[in-house]
Amino acid sequence: MLTKRIIPCLDIKDGRTVKGVNFTSLRDAGDPVELAKRYSEEGADELVFLDISATQDKRKTLLDTVTLVAKEVNIPFTVGGGISSVEDVGLLLKAGADKVSVNSAAVKDPDLINRLAKAFGNQCIVLAIDAKEIENRWMIHLAGGTVATSLDLFDWVKEGVDRGAGEILFTSMDNDGTKLGFANEQLAQLRAVVNVPIIASGGAGSIEDFRDAFLLGKCDAALAASVFHYGQIKIQDLKTQLANCDINVRI
């Protein structure tokens, strides 16, 4: 049985870690380098670093910050935000990232996934997806959730994997920051559509929420931000309780 992963997420804006609710009302959560080091030491399985305003600001991910974070961690480290070319990914991997996530640029240019997978391998490419329910359909949103599209979540996930994405990071905008649990029904539907690892994001508020994401949502990893940033859940406590529920985690 594959080990389930716990992944803290660093949403970066103007060089600081931030967290909001439903992608709005952002507040400061600390220095990304300090947080990354802490999570690495506390037993996180991976880290995700998302420069959430890079696309809106029409700039590239903060390479200097990526380099500093990479020096402080000894666990896999995924970087996203403002990535739109093979050259962008090459620079991020050189700066210390292990994987990259693409979102808005891939929707606008789906062949980007093919090019990146060919250049760096499927295992290096994470397709990040922000979606919310609109009139009973889950629709893709771009640019940090600010731009709605007519693209269906499940259609896009299938296409992304067919094009070479090796992992899916699905954030439910409806659940994000609410601490009411992950979108487990949608996660389970995604699992039925594709066979690559799926990371659940958006809604973690309790240890039970993580348990349900693994058992009901059938995800491979669960990502969270505020519950870790503000000390509401300790990673080792979480893993101990998950193990007690017969969920295979790295203690």
pLDDT given at position 207: 97
- Indicate the pLDDT class of residue 153, thresholds 50, 70 and 90: very high
Is the residue at 251 inside a domain? no
For residues 249 and 6, the answer to whether their CB atoms sit within 8 Å is yes
Is the residue at 249 inside a domain? no
Is the residue at 23 inside a domain? yes
Taking the mean position of all CA atoms in its chain, how far away is CA 12? 13
The total of structural domains in the chain comes to: 1
* CA dist., res. 182 & res. 222, Å (int): 9
Count of Cβ atoms closer than 10 Å to residue 4 Cβ: 20
Tell me the mean pLDDT in the region 159-179.
95
Tell me the mean pLDDT in the region 2-23.
74
Q: Which domain holds residue 177?
A: 5-244
Catalytic residue among 51, 130, 212, 220: 130
Residue 14 is among the residues annotated as catalytic for this protein: no
Is the residue at 186 inside a domain? yes
What's the chain's average pLDDT? 89
pLDDT tens digits, 50-109:
886 654 444 455 788 889 999 999 999 999 988 999 999 999 999 999 999 999 999 999
Query: Is a pLDDT exceeding 90 seen at residue 196?
Result: yes
Is the residue at 151 inside a domain? yes
Q: Which CATH number is 139's domain given?
A: 3.20.20.70
Q: Which residue has the tokens 């009901």?
A: 216
Query: Is a pLDDT exceeding 50 seen at residue 22?
Result: no
- With pLDDT > 90 as the criterion, what percentage of the chain qualifies? 73
Highest mean pLDDT: which of 58-67, 136-145, 198-207? 198-207
Is the residue at 229 inside a domain? yes
For residues 88 and 135, the answer to whether their CB atoms sit within 8 Å is no
Is the residue at 204 inside a domain? yes
Q: Where are the beta strands (DSSP E) in 14-124?
A: 16-21, 24-30, 47-51, 77-80, 99-102
Query: Is a pLDDT exceeding 70 seen at residue 170?
Result: yes
Residue 64 is among the residues annotated as catalytic for this protein: no
